Amino acid sequence: MFEHRVPRLSPGTRAIAALQLAVLLIAPLGVPPLLAAKAPPGVRRPAATPADLRRIAAAYYDSVKVSYPVASSGQALHTWDDRLTDYRPEAIDARRAYVQRLLAQVRAIDTATWSRDDQVDWVLFRSQLEAAEFYNRVQDAEHADPQTYVNEISNGIFSLLTKDYAPARQRALAATARLRATPAMLRQGEANLTKPVSLYAKLAIDAARGGDELYTESLMTLAKDLSPSERSALVSSRDSAIAALHAYADWLAARAKSMPPWRAMGTANYEYMLHHIYLLPLNADQLTTIGQTELARYRSLEAMLPDPRLANPDPSRAPRIPTNQADFLKTYQAREKEVIDFINAKKLVTLPPYLGPFYIRQLPEAFKPTSPGGFMNAPGLYDKDPSGFYFIPTYDPKSKNFYIRAAIEDPRPLIVHEGLPGHFVQISISNHVSDEIRRQQGDGVFAEGWALYLEEVALHEGLIAQNTGGHGQVLRLSRYRAARVGVDANLHTGKWTFEQAVQYFMNEGGLDREAAEGEAAGAASQPTQKMTYIVGKLGFMRLLGRYRDAHPNDFRLGAFHDQVISYGTLPQSVVEWLMFNDPTAVKQATRQDTP
């Protein structure tokens, strides 16, 4: 579950979430045009070069850093830790106009004479701009999603707490500035929300009312070195921010009945995302078929277990049950060494020397509504600290939460997925890619597919024994991720309601009601994210088979793994182009019609 690097994304995708957010939202800060909009009559427009592309991309990324200070903090760039995003209408409009203008310029480039690597970078940069333009045009979060403004401050504080990148006092002063700006930011949010969606409002209300401990407890750990006046300013700003968040929740609740219900984006928009953002040569019906096929496969494999109940995590089968939260986290962490030793013994992935430690932490309550299973927080794109974290829900030995029960019985499948050699390792390697356009890419199909694929590798290679609770857990995790594909495609093409999605997760995916509601909420909030796991896993299996055929005499599984993750977190069609010099899948995806 990679929550690509913003705490709002669904489980697992956190590391890439902030990365994706940073690339999705752009601001005009004097970036020079790549091409002239229109050449004078009779004057031939000069052809753009790969150097031009990289120059404009670099300036584009620089503009993102300044314009989205909270996203920058989340990526471990702490230059603007005392600021929040400017949500004034003129700032929003300027950002959107800039994206449209730049996308038109990039689309117009003729790359026919460019090298393969330069063409790849053009395709990737264009897909980043396509994503930005799409989310502005279709999702329109500033005007439709009340979570935008709650997330801004919760992420703004959370990003100051996750690592000790600076003295506690410095981070506390930055938090004071952000908290001081919160009431005005929320008032601006109320003015901006001209068409708030009721489902998103409910999630925002839950987060705003349920996240106080982030500010009253977690934040205050930074206050120890403040002077009396500085501490007083922090407390005053904190209390005002909490009051403003609660007032914002009340404002939403008072208007909830008049808000329009969640509405699907429709098939044309959904398939636009598949083709132009993920560069997938698939349509919605093909995705649904994939989900149904994989769901049938994993349900049948569960049935083949000597005891099908092994697929339903049961803490009573654990060698010992932790006594409290601290013991739970310690036990979870202790299994990590076993996984690392196995990776090294089998040479499944080369763990680079710059790889840092991977920690298990408790999930803050503010992020529970749409991340019931927790989320992963990898090193940021600009991070000098190589460590990473997995945030697990609060320990309760009697919990019905799937993820808690699974973590008590056998945490290794989740360690493999979230940590080693899953998200943490893959993203750490991606952060060290030298090509900046590729380093900035955060493809969810690649990231989630890699992590889910590794769960099955762990089973087949012997880390997890056959016919055990761990084996059953791997099957159940793939089963419910297969269910996610049908939910994602049917929700966003308008074939299913939200409640149908919840029921499908429960009946077909094997989840409890709490987990199913969280999964459905995440699916509705993040179109296409839920399909990334199974689609990506199948993509890696396809690449593995092709790699095996290309290396009949020198095939080694670990060598495939090392090569496939060396390129960065790229669309799998692009990886296929780079590995096998075959652009067919990219061409099939990008020739699709736009909505």
pLDDT class of 373 with cuts at 50, 70, 90 = low
Give residues with Cβ within 8 angstroms of 554, minimum separation 6.
none
On the question of pLDDT at 7 being above 60, the answer is: no
On the question of pLDDT at 351 being above 60, the answer is: yes
Distances, alpha carbon 384 to alpha carbons 117, 164, 432, 547, in Å? 28, 11, 11, 34
| Region for residue 527 given its phi and psi (left: phi exceeds 0; alpha: psi -120 to 50; beta: otherwise) | beta
Find, among 369, 513, 359, the residue nearest to 7 by Cα. Answer: 369
167 by Cβ neighbours in 10 Å (0-12 / 13-18 / 19+) ranks as: exposed
Taking residues 224-241, report their average pLDDT.
98
Is 153 in contact with 179 (CB distance < 8 Å)? yes
Structure tokens at 281: 């040569």
* Orientation angle between helical segments 469-492 and 444-461, nearest 10 degrees: 160
* Orientation angle between helical segments 513-525 and 498-507, nearest 10 degrees: 130
Helix (H) or strand (E) holding 13: strand 12-13
DSSP three-state, residue 109 = coil
Give residues with Cβ within 8 angstroms of 39, minimum separation 6.
45
pLDDT, residue 238, reads: 98
Give residues with Cβ within 8 angstroms of 404, minimum separation 6.
392, 393, 395, 396
Cα–Cα distance measured from residue 286 to residue 291, given in angstroms and rounded to the nearest whole number:
9
* Orientation angle between helical segments 147-161 and 168-192, nearest 10 degrees: 180
Give residues with Cβ within 8 angstroms of 252, minimum separation 6.
146, 196, 201, 204, 205, 208
pLDDT, residue 28, reads: 38
pLDDT, residue 14, reads: 35
Structure tokens at 446: 């690649």
On the question of pLDDT at 400 being above 90, the answer is: no
Cα–Cα distance measured from residue 263 to residue 250, given in angstroms and rounded to the nearest whole number:
23
pLDDT class of 365 with cuts at 50, 70, 90 = low
On the question of pLDDT at 40 being above 50, the answer is: no
pLDDT class of 211 with cuts at 50, 70, 90 = confident
Q: Taking CA 316 as the corner, what is the angle to CA 312 and CA 322, rounded to the nearest 5 degrees?
A: 115
pLDDT class of 29 with cuts at 50, 70, 90 = very low
Q: Beta partners for 377?
A: 389
Is 267 in contact with 493 (CB distance < 8 Å)? yes
Cα–Cα distance measured from residue 518 to residue 520, given in angstroms and rounded to the nearest whole number:
5
pLDDT class of 508 with cuts at 50, 70, 90 = confident
pLDDT tens digits for range 488-503: 999 999 999 989 999 9
Cα–Cα distance measured from residue 455 to residue 425, given in angstroms and rounded to the nearest whole number:
14
Q: Residue 391 has what DSSP assignment?
A: E
What is the residue type of 164? D
pLDDT, residue 4, reads: 35
Cα–Cα distance measured from residue 1 to residue 314, given in angstroms and rounded to the nearest whole number:
21
pLDDT, residue 534, reads: 97
* DSSP, residue by residue, 424-484: HHHHHHHTT-S-HHHHH---HHHHHHHHHHHHHHHHHHTSS-TTSHHHHHHHHHHHHHHHH
Is 410 in contact with 470 (CB distance < 8 Å)? yes
Cα–Cα distance measured from residue 209 to residue 61, given in angstroms and rounded to the nearest whole number:
34
pLDDT class of 265 with cuts at 50, 70, 90 = very high
Sheet holding 388-392, edge to edge: 358-362, 388-392, 375-377
Residue length, the chain? Answer: 595
Structure tokens at 564: 């496939």
pLDDT tens digits for range 407-442: 899 999 999 999 999 999 999 999 999 999 999 999
pLDDT tens digits for range 45-104: 457 999 999 999 999 999 989 999 999 999 999 999 999 999 999 999 999 999 999 999
Cα–Cα distance measured from residue 15 to residue 177, given in angstroms and rounded to the nearest whole number:
25
* DSSP, residue by residue, 316-351: GGSSS--SSHHHHHHHHHHHHHHHHHHHHHHT-S--
Helical spans, DSSP H, in 469-531 = 469-492, 498-507, 513-525
Give residues with Cβ within 8 angstroms of 235, minimum separation 6.
none
Q: Is the pTM of this model over 0.85?
A: yes
Please count the other Cβ atoms lying within 10 Å of the Cβ belonging to residue 172: 22
pLDDT, residue 549, reads: 98
pLDDT, residue 19, reads: 38
Q: Residue 165 has what DSSP assignment?
A: S
Find, among 500, 503, 498, 504, the residue nearest to 521 by Cα. Answer: 498
pLDDT class of 6 with cuts at 50, 70, 90 = very low
Q: Between 45 and 362, whose confidence is greater?
A: 362
Q: Between 30 and 476, whose confidence is greater?
A: 476
Mean pLDDT estimate for the chain: 89
On the question of pLDDT at 234 being above 90, the answer is: yes
Q: Which of 112-116, 140-144, 322-326 has the lowest mean pLDDT?
A: 322-326
On the question of pLDDT at 548 being above 60, the answer is: yes
> Pairing state of beta strands 388-392 and 358-362?
parallel
pLDDT, residue 5, reads: 35
Find, among 532, 171, 569, the residue nearest to 381 by Cα. Answer: 569
